Amino acid sequence: MVMTPEAKVKKVVASQLRSLKAYYFYPVTGGYGKSGVPDIIGCYRGKFFGIECKAGSNKPTALQEKNLKDITASEGMAFVVNEENMHDIAELLGATPVQLELDF
């Protein structure tokens, strides 16, 4: 099965989140879910985060941008990640080299 460019971004991000031992999941937005929720929701070192994954020149929709702003307004962290910054998850989440070596 061929992976879409956005799926490749999500795979790289998830791999880094696993290595950080961050709690994360992919929310289901159909049915009772909420539209515009970021692709990946999680928590790292007590801080809530939402990550919207995009590929190429794709940008978040207005509803996705609203949800990302709502997260930051509640003192969470919200990011749009694409091929240019998909390897920077630890830095975006504020992990230091010492934190990366800790076992939880």
Give me the residue spans of the domains in the chain. 5-101
CA distances for 83 relative to 25, 41, 69, 71, 76, angstroms = 20, 19, 22, 23, 23
Predicted confidence pLDDT, tens digits, the chain (104 residues)? 788 999 999 999 999 999 999 999 999 877 777 889 999 999 999 999 999 999 999 999 999 999 999 999 999 999 999 999 999 999 999 875 544 444 44
Q: Is the pTM of this model over 0.75?
A: yes
Q: In CATH, what is the architecture of 5-101?
A: 3-Layer(aba) Sandwich (3.40)
Tokens at 73, concatenated? 């307004």
Q: What is the largest CA-CA distance in the chain?
A: 42
Distance CA 24, CA 67 (A): 17
Q: Which residues, at least 6 apart from 11, have a Cβ–Cβ distance to it below 8 Å?
A: 3
